[in-house]
Amino acid sequence: MTTAHDAPEHSGFRLSQLIYDTRYRSLTIQVVVFFLVMAFVGWLVDNTIQNLNALGKDFNFGFLWQRAGYDIGNALIPYNNDMTHGRAMLVGLVNTLWISFLGCVAATILGVVVGVLRLSKNWLVARMMTIYVEVFRNIPLLLWILVAIALLTEVAPSPNAYKINPETGEAKLSMVFESIAFTNRYTAIPSIHFDRSLGVIDTAFMPISLNVLAIAVVLGLCFWINKRLLAHAGRVQEATGKRPTTWWKSALILVVPTLALLIALGFNPDEPVLKGFNFTGGTNVSNSFVALWAGLSLYTAAFIAEIVRAGILAISKGQTEAAYALGLRPNRTMNLVILPQALRVIIPPLISQYLNLTKNSSLAIAVGYLELRGTLGGITLNQTGRELEAITLMMLLYLAISLTISGVMNVYNNRVKLKER
C-alpha cells in the first residue's frame, strides 16, 4: 500500500501555476483578454482622436442646444423650428416610441387573429392566412413599407376631391361619417375638444392636459371598483356556490362616471374642415405615418401569427379534452385552459418580435416619417455635421429603448411563468 502524498511539497505560489493550475488559469486568461480588449478599444479611441484632430473637429454635444431651424411635420410634443436640436431629438424619440407602441398593438391583434384563423377548420380562410403569413414573412419589410406609401399616395384622392363645388353645391367625394377623410397626403380625423376645459399644465417636456388626466383618474378608479366588485362576487360564489349577477353593475360602474365627466367637460369631437389646400380643425395623420404603421404591423403580424399558432399547437389535445370532460364550453376552454398555457410559450418570442418592430421603425427613412433616426440621425446630423456624436447618441437611445422593453417584458414573463414548486 502506498501512502498518499498528495499534499504539494511547495505550499508557496509559483508563477507557472498561472498557466498550469486550473484554479489560476482562468484568472490569467481573463486578465489577458481584458488587456487585449482594452488595448483594442484604446486603439479605436486613439484613432478616433487622431482623425478628429486631423479634421479639426472635436467631440462635444453642444450642438444639441443650438437652434434646429427645420420643421417636423408630425410632432407629438410642441415643437417649432426655433427650438433646439435636443428638442428635435426628443420629438423624434417620442415619435419612435409612439409608432412602435401602435405597431406592437396592431401587430399583436392582427397576429393573434391570423394565427387562430390559420388553425380554423375553414379551408378557404386557413389557406388565405397561410398565404398571407408566407408572403409577408419572406419579402423584405422595406418593400411592404414602400408599397404601402405608394398605394396611399397613388390610390387615395387629393384633399381637393372633398372640396364643395360652388356651382353644384356638391363635392366629388364626401367624408366618411362626415368626419373622416382619406387623402393622398394624410387621413383627416376628428380631434377631441372640450368646451369647459380644465386647462393645461405646461411642463418643460410637454403640456399635460388636465382633462385627459382627470379622465384617466376616473377610469382608473372605475376599474379598481369594478375589480373589487368582481372579487366580491367571487367570494360570494365560493361561499354560497351562486355567483351574483354582476354584468349590469360592472357596466354601470365603468360607463356612468366617465360619461358624466365627459359631459361635464363639454366633450365634443372637433371635425376636420377643408380650408384652402388642406383640412384644418381635426387631426391630420400623415400618410408616411400610416404607411410605416401598416408596413410594420402587417409584417410583424405574420411572425406573431406563427408564434401564436405554434403556441396553441404546443398545448396537447388532452388539455382540451380534459376541459370538455369537465363540462367547460369551448370558449371558456380557450380562455381558462388553452390560452393561459399557450401564453407561456408565446411570450418570449413575442418579446423579441416587439423588439424587432421597434428597431424596424427606423425604416421610417423610406417614407420620410421623422422619428429618432430621421431627426437626430438624419437632419440634425446633416445640418451640424456631428456624425460621431449624433450616431453614438442615437445608438444609445435605441439601446435604452430595447433594454427597457425586454426588461419590462421579462418581468411580465416571470410573473406568468409556470411556477414549479
Site for other proteins in 68-127 (CB under 8 A): 69-73, 81, 117, 120-125
Question: Is there a contact between 198 and 265 (Cβ–Cβ < 8 Å)?
Answer: yes
Stretch that binds other proteins, among 84-92, 100-108, 170-178, 361-369 (CB under 8 A): 361-369
Pick 116 or 230: Cβ nearer other proteins: 116
Burial (CB count within 10 angstroms: exposed 0-12, middle 13-18, buried 19+), residue 23: exposed
Question: Is there a contact between 77 and 205 (Cβ–Cβ < 8 Å)?
Answer: yes
3-state secondary structure (DSSP) of residue 271: coil
Burial (CB count within 10 angstroms: exposed 0-12, middle 13-18, buried 19+), residue 300: buried
Q: Would you list the DSSP string of 165-189?
A: PTTTS-BSS--BTTTBEE-SSEEEE
DSSP letter assigned to residue 368 = T
Pick 190 or 349: Cβ nearer other proteins: 349
For other proteins, the binding residues in 18-77 under the rule CB under 8 A are: 19, 26, 29-30, 33-34, 37, 44, 47-48, 50-52, 54-57, 69-73
Pick 45 or 208: Cβ nearer other proteins: 45
For other proteins, the binding residues in 220-259 under the rule CB under 8 A are: none
Stretch that binds other proteins, among 3-11, 210-218, 335-343, 388-396 (CB under 8 A): 388-396
The pattern of x and - marking residues 293 through 332 that bind other proteins according to CB under 8 A reads ----------------------------------------
Phi, psi (rounded to 5 degrees) for 3: -90, 140
**Going by C-beta distance under 8 Å and a sequence separation of 6 or more, which residues neighbour residue 53?**
none
Pick 173 or 365: Cβ nearer other proteins: 365
Distances in Å between the Cα of 302 and the Cα atoms of 131, 138, 317, 358 are: 10, 10, 25, 16
What's the closest the beta carbon of residue 1 comes to other proteins, in angstroms?
Answer: 25
Interface residue with other proteins among 109, 403, 408, 416 (CB under 8 A) is 403
Pick 41 or 213: Cβ nearer other proteins: 41
Q: Is 277 in the site for other proteins (CB under 8 A)?
A: yes
Pick 29 or 105: Cβ nearer other proteins: 29
Cα–Cα distance between 24 and 22 in angstroms, integer? 5
Pick 158 or 316: Cβ nearer other proteins: 158
Q: Is 137 in the site for other proteins (CB under 8 A)?
A: yes
The set of cell numbers assigned to 387 is 456624425
Pick 160 or 237: Cβ nearer other proteins: 160
Interface residue with other proteins among 143, 314, 322, 336 (CB under 8 A) is 143
3-state secondary structure (DSSP) of residue 405: helix
State how beta strands 283-286 and 186-189 pair: antiparallel
Q: Is 373 in the site for other proteins (CB under 8 A)?
A: yes
Residues binding other proteins: what is the number (CB under 8 A)? Answer: 89
The set of cell numbers assigned to 397 is 437611445
Interface residue with other proteins among 18, 116, 142, 409 (CB under 8 A) is 142
Residue 101 CA, chain-centre distance (Å), reads: 3
